[in-house]
Every structure is written in C-alpha cells, then in structure tokens.
Amino acid sequence: MVKEGEMTSSKLSFVTTSVLLASFLVMSAAAPACAAEPGGKPEKSDVVVTYAQPSGAFTPIWVAYEAGLFKKYGLNAKLQLLTPQVSAQAVVSEEADFYTDGPDLINARLRGGQVKYFAGTIQQLVFEIWGAKEIKTIQELKGKTVAASTPRAALDTATREALRKNGLVPDKDVQILYVQTVPAILSSIIGGRTAAGTLSAPNTLKARDAGLNLLVDIGKLNIPAFQVAYGTTERYLKNNPNTVYAFLKAIAEGVVLSRKDAGVAKKAIAKYAKIDDGPTVDGTYEAFAPYWAMSLAVRAEAIKGQFDYLDDKEFPNAKNADPRDFYDNSFVDALTKSGFLKSLGMK
C-alpha cells in the first residue's frame, strides 16, 4: 500500500516525461525560427555557367563541377568559357544562366540592363603587372604600352588602378592595348609587342619562368572590386529562386573544398588552366587560395569602387548611382540564417 504523498515509480515516470515534453514544446514555440534550409527542387535543372579566363581565380567553380556539387543540388551545369563582355551579354539575353566574373554587369546595368549580382568569391583585385626583361620598375612604363584583356573588365580595372597608385595616368602616360585573353597578354610581352601586361596565375608563373620582371603585386594593394562575382537577370532571380539557391550551395561547397583539399583544387586547376607541370599548378593554387572568401555576400564597396574607375563621359549616371541597386544579398542571407553556410564553416 502506498502512503499518502508518495508516488509509484510508474506515476513518477509519467509526470517526468510529461514535464519534459511540455518544456520541449514551450521551447520550440518560443525559439526563433531557425529557418528550414531554403531552396527546393530547382525550377530549371539545365544551366549554363560562364567563366571569363582559364585563371585559378575560378577554381571553386571548376571544383564544384568536378566534384559533382552542382549535381548534388539538382543542377546539370555546363561550364562555358566566354570573354567578360560576351558573358555579360549572354546573361542579359538569357542565353546563359549565371555570369561569374567581374564588373561587366555593373556596366550592363548602368546601360539599362535589368541585372544584379547575388554573391561573390573574390571581391578584391588579385593580379600582377609584369614587365619585359628591360623594364625594372613600373615608373619605366611612362610613354610605353601595357597589355590588358578587354575594356572595363576586372583586369582592365586592376591595370588602371595600379598605374594610378604609382603616379601614372592611364591613356596619357601609359597606353593600354586590349588583346582579349590573359595568355595573349603574356605573348604580347614576350614577343615585344608591349612593354608590360597584367596577368593572373598561372600566367604569372610562366612570366617568371620566361625571365620577365614583376612590377606590381596588385593583390597586396587591397583594391575593392569584383574579380569573381555571380550575377544574373532580375527576372531570373524572381522566377528561379530554387535554381539560384542550388547554384549558391554548390559554389559555397566548392569554395570550402578548394580551400580545405588542395589536391582536389589543383587537379581542377591542371585540367581547366591546361597546366601539365606540378610547380605551376602549385603556384597557381597558392596565388589564389588566400583570396577565396569564406563569406559570399556582395560587398557594396566593391561596386562603389567600380563606379570610381568608369569613364564619366561613357557612364555619366555612375556618379550618382546607388551600389545597393546593383546586388541582391537575400539569397546569401537566407542561407546564412538557415545555418547552411555555418555548417560548411563559412560566415
């Protein structure tokens, strides 16, 4: 017989369980909604992803493809090598889904294109200016010609800003010759067509091996601007949000994998940059790995910086443009709030 005030073991167990369950329900109701991971089945599974140069800067994109990360999130991605301006035009015309390069979408929007950036992995300029064997300092470029890729591309911006920071006025003190690609820039220096040129790895390493002289390491100048950023049309962002989330998840994992697993990244670099010697692959990886950002959110200063580099006559509306009109961080913000990016070790 149980005395008054005592409980049987089964009654005590029932009460304890009930209290715990009630507490859990109260805590669940009161807790801030840790949003479920955003992004369902992609509205569009077949996507074209552009990239501008066979440069190590694009390694996370290559790794995302080679490691099957796009497929992991339901995308059949096709990587397409296009010059920056053609890439921007392809996205504006919706012949390509995702632009993955520098400032060309800024230029396109200033001309009326309804495009926006939604993420970025390198939001500072990581290039080097290399001079011919007889050129020892950047000041010796006065009165000479420097090679760049295409007008208003990230490489062009880097060239002009590096010259300005060293007291040289582009198009006045130094002429700029556009030769389309980074390998063509290297050839123009070696062949004597230009006195110098702006390069990215692996071509920086080839320049060193050819006996050329490093004049400026632009990465160390910490110039805010887009070197690898991701964008598309506003209509695409509105109509295909799950596709955008899938793309971002693959890119995020690609960045983390590229930084954590050098072997995977170097294999991708060797394939896409067409490098067959180990030291050059190693050097390319080492040149870019520190710059692959662990935060994908677009930085307003990277856009503002680009406004400052544009020609006032060609882009008169840049002077009063608001950087916030050029990007949409809502997708990255949602992945941050859901805990997805944190689970990868990103910010």
Among 183, 202, 221, which residue terminates a domain?
Answer: 221
CA distance 256 to 335: 15
Q: pLDDT tens for residues 123-136? A: 999 999 999 999 99
Q: What is the average per-residue pLDDT within 166-187?
A: 96
Please spell the DSSP secondary structure of 25-92, one letter per residue: HHHHHHS---PPPP--S-S--EEEEEESSS-GGGHHHHHHHHTTHHHHTT-EEEEEE--HHHHHHHHH
Q: Are residues 116 and 238 in the same domain?
A: yes
Q: How many structural domains are present in the chain? A: 2
Supply the DSSP symbol for 332: H
Same structural domain, 244 and 333:
yes
pLDDT digits (tens, 9 = 90+) for 249-294: 999 999 999 999 999 999 999 999 999 999 999 999 999 999 999 9
289, 330: one domain:
yes
- What is the pTM assigned to this prediction? 0.83
Instruction: Give percent of the chain above pLDDT 90.
Output: 82
From 181, 196, 221, the end of a domain falls on: 221
Is the domain of 134 the same as that of 53? no
Q: How far apart are CA 59 and CA 284, in angstroms?
A: 10
Asked if 334 and 236 sit in the same domain, the reply is: yes
Amino acid 123: pLDDT:
94
For residue 55, pLDDT beyond 70 = yes
Q: CA 155 to CA 57: how far, in whole Å?
A: 12
Nearest to 249 by CA among 21, 37, 81: 37
Among candidate residues 172, 187, 221, the one where a domain is terminated: 221
**Residue 38 belongs to a domain:** no
Nearest Cα residue to 274 out of 10, 54, 115, 118: 54
Q: Which residue has the higher pLDDT, 309 or 229?
A: 229
Answer yes or no: do 64 and 139 share one domain.
Answer: no
Same domain, 102 and 155: no
CA distance 189 to 191: 5
Note whether 181 and 300 are same-domain residues. Answer: no
Domain that holds residue 258: 46-125+224-344
Overall average pLDDT of the 148-172 stretch: 93
What number of H helices and E strands is found in the chain?
A: 15, 10
Q: What integer pLDDT is reported at residue 311 of this predicted model?
A: 81
Looking at the structure, tell me whether residues 231 and 90 fall in a common domain: yes
Same domain, 199 and 104: no
- Here the CATH number for the domain that contains residue 157 is 3.40.190.10
The strand ranges marked E within 175-306 are: 175-178, 196-199, 213-217, 224-233
Q: Which residue has the higher pLDDT, 307 or 5?
A: 307
